Amino acid sequence: MNIRFMAAALAAASMLGSITPAFADTELKIFVSSQHQPDVWRKVLDKYEAANPGVKIAIETGGNTSEAQAQYLNTVMSAKDSNLDILMLDVIRPAQYAAAGWTSDFEGKDMSVYLPAYAEANTVDGKIVALPAFADAMFLYYRKDLLDKYGIAPPKTWEELAAATKKIADGEKNPELQGLSFQGKAIEGAVCTFLLPYWSQGKTLVENGKLTFDHDAAVNSLKLWKGFVDDGVAKKNIAEVATDDTRKEFQAGSAAFAVNWSYAWTHFQGAESAVAGKVGVTRLPALGGGEQASCLGGWEWGVSAYSTHQDEAKKLVEYLSGEDVSVFMAANGSLLPSYAGAYKNEEVLKAVPWFADALQVVETAKARPVTPRYNEVSEVIRTTVNAVLAGVTTPEDGASQIEARLKRILR
Amino acid sequence: MTNTSTINAASTADRGPPAWTRWLDLGDRALAVVLLAPAAILLALIIVYPVLRLGYTSFFSLSLTSGLPAEFVGLENYSLMLDDPVFWETTWNTVLITLITVPGALLVGLALALLANLPFGVQWPVRLSLLIPWALPLSFAGLIFAWFFHSEYGVVNDVLMRLGFEGIIWFNSPNWAFAAICLTIIWKTSSFMALIILAGLQTIPRSLYEAADVDGAGRIRQFFEITLPLLKPSIVVALIFRTITALQTFDIPYMMTGGGPGTSTATLAMYIHQNTVSFLDLGYGSALAVVMFALSMCVTAVYLRAIRTKE
């Protein structure tokens, strides 16, 4: 009876859909970041289109890094362009979008269904700016086969990691094999590169909009990475390496360890991977004596304030940020769910077994500073990290530059 | 002039012009105004208005990330600039790029033009290869050369290593990164110089060289006494265009290094783009753009004066 009833309801709904003018031939344009499986999102959208006749959804992608995408969306939104209806936004952007008034408020939405970090990240001054698309955090990927071969346990501190890479390098004698790949190019990932060891020392960068910069902790962080370059743990041109370069290098089997987000997993297990079945994932190491810290990532769905299809766009975003889609994207695109319950979902755990341990990492991951001027904060940190890794600036000078320039921005 | 008007008068005498052409019967001055008006209006709309608007915005604190309305702050954006180390660094980089790549492109362009002007049997391959770098979009050139100079996959390091040298991590050092950018800009822009100079070369009458041959002047003497002086007007025109675009350098360093390492290869145009497009600080970005505009105007004025005294 159930099936028959549902089929009838569906038929009625679709008929209703096709005759209700509001839903007739609505074309929604949705911006998806190209690095987050637009092809898998397409499948989700196909399902939505099938269930909602009269709604057509087109995906637009552009730019291959978070900054390039932000620049593109900045131009579109500051021109008040109504072309895009829904935008996928990096977790660091809602504050800026709220200040500029670029997204529509999801008034009255119950945010407690999501992981607390994302309920918080999407609520700015009491307004719900966007709804979570997926969660994310940085992890340490390692070559299980190599660690087993040399009897090394997954490192808990960066010092242990450095020692492990030495042991592997001495044994393998392969000049093509790097110890650790991380992000040294002046891109958003380099901000997390700086913050991981900084946070590990129990320090914060910004509290309640006020700068709480700890000079010594910053020097230690920059020294750690520069030391990795000097000691051969990382390759000499690490200042040229962006997030997806790290993914490609590890995938090609040319790195023993890699710092990356969760999306990399699907690629490592894919048909084009040289390391399928040989990859382990664990929490990022701590700086000697400190705590293990990760960088909170994730992307959000916002509805453009200039969209001429507000209701339809909001309805679609409600669907996309729902638990079913979250589970589907976890199982098919290895994107971390923004629902706590989804981490125990059988379908998810079958596809990505390590997600069982990932919830704790996401829950304890630290958020980058929340400010509408985040782009400036990010630029200061990432260009300095890049300059230190290239050897242009010393860790001490780098820390002083970050402090001086952040003071100007967050005065 | 008189010829055409008599012909017009003769041909229209028998039939008389259609009524709608009557409004064309204007005095020379009025006709000039009518004919120039569309271009002048277009220029006013796409150049004069934006430039004035830019100058106006530069006196406001206007940042889309602040959530605040624009507020008049007088010269505050300009005084901020004086304390801003990145402004000085990017301005200096821009000036340095101009000082290196403009003469560089001139020398290479001159050599290419002389080469292309040699009496080859088939001239189109030479001319085509001159045109291609010029026709290539700047950002493509930047991307292509970013790969050429890539430390691991680049052809430049491959050649260096085959010759027994050690590979260079080009974009890891400010000096090498700067050198790579300047080489790319010279490669990209010298063909434009060459095209203009080639056009100038072809206006020099062959008889001058024949006369010089008769008088016993050598090739080098001919070049300095005949070719170079007669090329001067074309060279000045090429220099004006090249210098102004050099001051606006953006695409090639943006694609090759993104301004790195740190901000050591960022240009003023990149800094303006960053402030306006990434930081959405339209007030400060406008003030920076006004400075760049003023810089371009100064250079143009110097060149124009140089031409005028020549004449």
Listed by number, the residues of chain B in 26-85 with a beta carbon closer than 8 Å to a beta carbon of chain A are 64-67
Q: How far is A239 from chain B (nearest CA, A)?
A: 7
- Angle formed by the axes of helices A374-389 and A395-409, to 10°? 170
CB contact under 8 A, B171 and A240: yes
Q: How far is B259 from chain A (nearest CA, A)?
A: 9
How far apart CA B33 and CA A290 sit, in angstroms, is 77
- A289: CATH: 3.40.190.10
Say whether both A337 and A244 belong to one domain. no
CA atoms within a 13 Å half-sphere pointing along the CA-CB vector of B27: 2
Say whether both B37 and B117 belong to one domain. no
One digit per residue, the tens of pLDDT, for chain B of length 311 reads 444 444 454 444 456 677 776 666 777 888 888 889 999 999 999 999 999 999 999 999 998 888 788 899 999 999 999 989 899 999 999 999 999 999 999 999 999 999 888 877 777 888 888 888 989 999 999 999 999 999 888 999 999 999 999 889 999 999 999 999 999 999 999 999 999 999 999 999 989 988 998 988 888 888 998 899 999 889 988 998 899 999 999 999 999 999 989 899 999 999 999 999 999 999 999 999 999 999 999 988 888 887 776 55
- Among the listed residues A289, A295, A230, A263, the one whose alpha carbon sits nearest the alpha carbon of residue A141: A263
Say whether both A155 and A124 belong to one domain. no
User: Among all residues of chain B, which has the CA nearest to that of A66?
Assistant: B278
CB contact under 8 A, B263 and A387: yes
CA atoms within a 13 Å half-sphere pointing along the CA-CB vector of A280: 16
Say whether both B294 and B153 belong to one domain. yes
Q: How far is A36 from chain B (nearest CA, A)?
A: 22
Say whether both A344 and A358 belong to one domain. yes
How far apart CA A344 and CA A352 sit, in angstroms, is 11
Strand partners, B61: B71
Say whether both A218 and A289 belong to one domain. yes
CB contact under 8 A, B67 and A100: yes
- What residues in chain A have per-residue pLDDT under 50? 1, 15-23
Say whether both A46 and A128 belong to one domain. yes
Q: Is the preceding peptide bond at B261 cis, omega within 30 degrees of 0?
A: yes
How far apart CA A307 and CA A313 sit, in angstroms, is 8
Residues of A in contact with B180 (CB under 8 A): none
Candidate from A67, A237, A376 with C-beta closest to B169: A237
Give A59-115 as a 3 state SS string: EECCCCCHHHHHHHHHHHHHCCCCCCCEEEEECCCHHHHHHHCCECCCCCCCHHHCC
Say whether both A342 and A255 belong to one domain. no
CB contact under 8 A, B259 and A186: yes
- Asked if A246 is an interface residue toward chain B (Cβ–Cβ < 8 A), one would say no
Q: How far is A353 from chain B (nearest CA, A)?
A: 35
Range of the domain at A332: 2-136+297-364
Name which of A245, A376, A401 to mutate to probe chain B: the one with the most chain B Cβ atoms within 10 A of its Cβ.
A376
Give chain A's domain count.
2
Give chain B's domain count.
2
Candidate from A99, A384, A387 with C-beta closest to B67: A99
Say whether both B144 and B219 belong to one domain. yes
Listed by number, the residues of chain B in 148-177 with a beta carbon closer than 8 Å to a beta carbon of chain A are 150-152, 169, 171-174
Q: Give the pLDDT confidence score for residue A393 in this predicted structure.
A: 94
How far apart CA A134 and CA B106 sit, in angstroms, is 54
- Among the listed residues A213, A195, A9, the one whose alpha carbon sits nearest the alpha carbon of residue A92: A195
How far apart CA B8 and CA A112 sit, in angstroms, is 85
User: Among all residues of chain B, which has the CA nearest to that of A380?
Assistant: B262
The position carrying tokens 């086969």 is A145
Give a yes or no: residue B8 inside a domain: no
Which residues contact residue A80 at a Cβ distance below 8 angstroms, ignoring those fewer than 6 apart? A306
Q: Give the pLDDT confidence score for residue A11 in this predicted structure.
A: 54
Say whether both A254 and A147 belong to one domain. yes
- Asked if A236 is an interface residue toward chain B (Cβ–Cβ < 8 A), one would say yes
Give a yes or no: residue B30 inside a domain: yes
Give a yes or no: residue B42 inside a domain: yes
Say whether both B112 and B224 belong to one domain. yes
How far apart CA B133 and CA A7 sit, in angstroms, is 63
Q: How far is CA A96 from CA A88, A90, A99, A368, in A?
A: 14, 11, 5, 13
Say whether both A51 and A199 belong to one domain. no
Say whether both B85 and B228 belong to one domain. yes
Q: How far is B252 from chain A (nearest CA, A)?
A: 16
- B161: CATH: 1.10.3720.10
- Asked if B260 is an interface residue toward chain A (Cβ–Cβ < 8 A), one would say yes
Say whether both B299 and B183 belong to one domain. yes
How far apart CA B24 and CA B40 sit, in angstroms, is 19
Listed by number, the residues of chain A in 79-118 with a beta carbon closer than 8 Å to a beta carbon of chain B are 96, 98-101
Say whether both B32 and B119 belong to one domain. no
φ, ψ for residue B151, nearest 5 deg: -65, -30
Say whether both B112 and B156 belong to one domain. yes
First to last CA, chain B: 27
Say whether both B35 and B109 belong to one domain. no
- Among the listed residues A265, A304, A385, the one whose alpha carbon sits nearest the alpha carbon of residue A86: A304
How far apart CA B9 and CA A343 sit, in angstroms, is 91
Whether residue A77 contacts residue A307, with contact meaning beta carbons closer than 8 Å, is answered with no
Range of the domain at B228: 80-310
CB contact under 8 A, B277 and A75: yes
How far apart CA A351 and CA A327 sit, in angstroms, is 11
CB contact under 8 A, A379 and B280: no
Say whether both A309 and A391 belong to one domain. no
CB contact under 8 A, A392 and B262: yes
